[in-house]
Chain A
Amino acid sequence: MKKLILLVLIAFAWQAEAQTAIDILKKHDEITFAAKDQKAELTITLTDKKGNVSTRKAVMYQKGMNKRLTRFTYPEAQAGIGFLSLPNDVMYVYLPAFGKERRIASHVKNQTFAGTDFSYDDMEAVPSIEKYNPKLIKTTETEFVLEMIPKKPETSEYSKVIIYINRTTYCSTKTEYFNKGGIKIKELIHKFEKKGNFWYAASAEMTDLRNGHKTRMTMTNITFDSNLSDDIFTVKNLVNI
């Protein structure tokens, strides 16, 4: 009987902890996707181990939690390339050289996004709670540390992701990515800023720990809630550069 009570208590405790982790992650997602829509200019700086730097520029539109259009504007070789992320894991790419859109199959999603250290999967506009099962593994004075296990491990390159979330703002400060062998392969450092009522990642620096390559993404000229039309997030608009 005592054993049964102990088991029930453990189950309740686990449930409470899981619930808390879910609440934290949901709160984090709500903060990240607080605006109804947003538009920003991205500057993506790639730095290799030797310190060689190359730059890409893009415009990003986002609506709700799962619609995002990213279009490259620089360098000229990549200008016009567009990515459209839609609900239900649907992603399209448009390559001006081919003149037609193509749906991105899941095998591509773990590949690097336009030579950066971000993968297509990292760039997808999907709330973390939809992609991961979170578990609170540590609470410090300033941060919650969640371990997130992919809900679809077969389509993810990661075995787990550890995210550090600020206890006051619920913005993430750091994210660590582990491969299937449990080795940390990438690290993302976020710097959130507040504009009006909204927090946004003013900069995000991803380091690939395997080769020391870094990608820094900075957002400028960001606007929130400008009532972006749904027409922006269509294949029709993706190909209309």
Chain B
Amino acid sequence: MKHKLLNKKKERFIAGDLNPLLILKKNKSNLMHKSLKIIFIALLLITSFKVVFAQDNPLKITGKFSTDQRFRTAKPQSWSWNETRIDLSMSKKFEDKAKFYSNIWFRNIGFSNLTALNQLYDKGQTSPFNIDLQEAYIDVNNFIFKDLNLKAGRQKFNWGTGDKLNPVNTLNPLDLEDIWDFGRYQGSDAMKLTYYLKSLKFEGIWLPFFRPSTLPIGDWAEAFMTIPELPAGISLNSLINHIQMPDLSLKNSSSYGFKSSATIGSFDLALHYTYFYDPIPSPDSNVITFAGSFTKINVNAFQQYIRLHNAGLSFSGELFKFGVWGEFSAFIPLEELNMQTVFGTSVMDSLILENKPWYKYLIGTDYTFKDGSYLNIQYLHGFFHEKGNANLNDYFTIAWYKKFLQDKLKITPLSGSFIVADWKDLGNKYVFIYNPEISFMPNDNTEIGLGVRIIYGKGGSTFATVKDKDEVFIKIGYNF
């Protein structure tokens, strides 16, 4: 077999396929062809752009290059995150009548994680890369009649007044890929109508398709994984998670929402309503079978997306010179949620969610001191993924920073969270996160950040599962 391969290689070498000189010649010729092709296409594009965009408002291309590297402080001090991103935005205004906007991420994320030689041929595995269309929409001003705007395409809604934590922002699916960048949402393919009536604003949104949330990668995946509790003496041989997506029928795949907002005195107020799919799956059923022996089992876990109503309100304003904001959000299930467990001939139902609403809320305040330092404090009841009144934890977040050297240097000595999973058992169910950071702008477009995250906690809450995974991070960003 080995000889045959070698002989084939020999033949190819003689024919010139593997002759280095001939290869070089061929490559040069290919390269020339390719270069000419690229130049031709580039000229064509430039000419087309010139024709299409030779107006007062040319196509604007802006973006940001950023790199984010993290490593664990505990031995063996391994790298835990590697991301290099080009965040490219294009916008084009047609007078004041319409606007096109798009935002695309080009990313190299993760590490080469190869287990076989043939994976070396796959660039996707040697250098994990992805392209993510964050937003792409047109925004039409005075659509049909004055002060009615239509926004169609992939878009983000940014409802709510909280800083990164917005219980009322339920329509866009969450992007939990990087849990430290919480509050990141994915764009939704949607149509939005906005009507302005003096200081009142009304929004109506229709999402024809469902798009689920992405879950965290790396160690955080464990934190969001549901592993069934097993009786003593039984061990898990395999766990396969299945997911059931909503069907694509108009009735079942659509979500919609309404928002009305107004300014009353020194406060901006808004009322929200949405009918949507919870973008994080809930357990539906488990099918358990023995794996060869009576002490090992295989579990096939089925997950589903549940429908919810949401009604909420949000406000922001000023009170005694402090900036204040808050959100209240009621999540109303359509029915009770039970999980069916099938084990041989026995079928068991367990209650996952009662047919009762649960309430998430947030309140926050900020203040800028006379020395220019800035303080921001928030309290949140119920994180993004938590469901059911009994499962909502309390989150206290704080950030205090001061800028120096005409805003070039920013030091955040106090930044972190305190999470309580159970007030009655505080000593055993809490998490403490401390993440001070220092960032420096050597010029107006470049920012370098360095920080640490120290996590300590007890109990079984999401954040407690990654306790002691402290890390150091460095971020570099350049805007263009």
C-alpha gap A53/B370 in the complex (Å): 26
Provide the bound-state CA to CA distance between A112 and B373, in Å: 12
Name the A residues within 8 Å of B408 (CB-CB). Answer: 115
Q: Tell me whether A107 and B62 are in contact (CB under 8 A).
A: no
Contact: A99 with B158, CB < 8 Å?
A: yes
Evaluate contact between B445 and A76: CB separation under 8 angstroms: yes
> Contact partner of B479 among A76, A235, A240, CB < 8 A?
A76
The winner among B194, B321, B372 for most chain A CB atoms within 10 A is: B321
Do the beta carbons of B445 and A46 come within 8 Å of each other?
A: no
B316 neighbours in A (Cβ, 8 Å): 102-103
Which chain B residues (429-473) contact chain A, with CB distance < 8 Å? 443-445, 447
Interface assignment of B367: CB less than 8 Å from any CB of chain A: yes
Residue of A nearest to B441 (CB): A77
Instruction: Tell me if A78 and B444 are in contact (CB < 8 A).
Output: yes
Q: How far is the CA of A76 from the CA of B61 in the complex (A)?
A: 10
A207 vs chain B, min Cβ distance (A): 13
Which B residues touch A56, using CB under 8 A? 444
Place the interface of chain A in its size category.
20 to 34
A115 to chain B, nearest CB (A): 4
Does A115 lie within 8 Å of B407, measured CB to CB?
yes
- Pairwise interchain contact A103-B317, C-beta atoms closer than 8 A: yes
| B318, CB-defined interface residue at 8 Å | yes
Query: What's the Cα separation between A18 and B91 when bound, in Å?
Result: 54
Whether a CB of chain B sits under 8 angstroms from the CB of A189 is: no
Cα separation A172 to B268 with both chains bound (whole Å): 37
B156: interface (CB < 8 Å) = yes
Whether, in the assembled complex, A194 has its beta carbon less than 8 Å from a beta carbon of chain B, the answer is no
CA distance A78 to B444 in the complex (A): 8
Contact of A76 among B139, B406, B480 (CB under 8 A): B480
Q: In the complex, are the beta carbons of B322 and A76 less than 8 A apart? A: no
Which B154-210 residues have a C-beta within 8 angstroms of A?
156, 158, 194, 196, 201
- B352-407 residues with Cβ-Cβ distance < 8 A to A are 366-368, 370, 372, 405-407
Determine whether the beta carbon of A111 is less than 8 Å from that of B368: yes
The residues of A with any CB-CB pair to B shorter than 8 Å are 46, 48, 54, 56, 75-79, 90, 98-100, 102-103, 105-108, 110-112, 114-115, 154-155, 157, 213, 234-236, 240-241
Q: Is the interface of B mostly helix, strand, loop or mixed?
A: strand
Q: Are B367 and A75 in contact (CB under 8 A)?
A: no
Known: A102-B316, A111-B368, A115-B406. A54 touches B156 (CB 8 A): no
Task: Report B60 CB to chain A, min CB distance, Å.
Answer: 9
Question: Could you say which residues of chain B place their CB within 8 Å of the CB of A240?
Answer: 99, 139, 141
- Residues of the A chain whose Cβ atoms lie less than 8 Å from the Cβ of B444: 54, 56, 75, 77-78
* Bound-state Cα–Cα, A22 to B156, Å: 50
Contact of B158 among A77, A100, A110, A115 (CB under 8 A): A100
* Residue numbers in A under 8 Å from B141 (CB-CB): 240
- Set of chain A residues within 8 Å of B99, measured between Cβ atoms: 240
Interface string of B63-91 (1 = CB under 8 A from A): 00000000000000000000000000001
A96 to chain B, nearest CB (A): 9
The reply to whether A98 and B139 contact each other, CB–CB distance below 8 Å, is no
Q: B residues within 8 A CB of A234? A: 196
CB distance from B168 to the nearest CB of A (A): 12
Report yes or no: B406 in contact with A48, Cβ–Cβ below 8 A. Answer: yes
Mask, B294-324, CB within 8 Å of A = 1, is 0000000000000000000000111001110
Alpha-carbon separation in the docked complex, A241 to B321 (Å): 30
Contact between B406 and A107, CB atoms less than 8 A apart = no
B366 touches A105 (CB 8 A): yes
Q: Are A112 and B407 in contact (CB under 8 A)?
A: yes
B317: nearest residue on chain A (CB-CB)?
Answer: A103
Question: Roughly how many angstroms separate A241 CA and B408 CA in the complex, as a whole number?
Answer: 26
